[in-house]
Structure 1
Amino acid sequence: MIKRSRLFGNKTRVTFCLPVGEPAGAVSVVGTFNDWEPGRHELVPRRDGTRTVSVTLSPGHYSFRYLASDGIWLDDDQAGSELRV
C-alpha cells in the first residue's frame, strides 16, 4: 500500500507500507529516487502490525520495488513498480 501526503511547496511525502512478516526479514524500498540503494529506506515495524517507511519526493515519475533480505524482489500490489508524484 502507498499513501501520499502533500507537503509545503511542491513536495510529497510517500509512505510505503507492507504487512509484518510478508516477506520475512528486513525489507527496503529501492528505486530511482534513491539510486536503487538497498537499506537506505528500510521499512520499520509499527504497532498496528505493518511495516512502513516515508520518503519525501519532488513531482515526477519514479520506478521502485521492494527488496527483501533474501534477495527477493517484490512489486506493490496496487502500484506495481511505478509511482507518479
Structure 2
Amino acid sequence: MVGDFNHWNPAAHPLQSRGDGTLTAHISLPAHSSHSFRNLAAGDHWFDDEHADAHDGTNSRIHT
C-alpha cells in the first residue's frame, strides 16, 4: 500500500496475502486526518480500494 502517509514508497507497507485470497496491510494513522493512497500489486498493477471512504479521481481516500 502506498500513499501520502509513506511518501508513496511501495516498500514501506507491502501488501500481504491472506488465506482467503485477499490482500492486507496494517498502517497506523493519526486521528482526525485524511490521506490519499493506492494499492500496488505484483507486476506494477495499481488498483483502488473499493472500501475506501472516497475516491478523488486518481487515488483512494481514507478519513480517520
Percent of pairs with identical residues:
42
Structure 1 gap segments, 5+ residues each? 1-28
More helix by share: 2
More strand by share: 1
Distance 2:40 2:27 in 1: 16
Counterpart position of 2:14:
42
**Superposition CA RMSD, Å:** 1.4
CA shift at 1:49, angstroms?
3.4
| Bigger Rg over Cα | 1
Amino acid in the other structure paired with 1:40: A
Q: Which runs of 4+ in 1 moved over 6 A?
A: none
Structure 2 gap segments, 5+ residues each? none
TM-score, normalised to structure 2, is 0.74
TM-score, normalised to structure 1, is 0.58
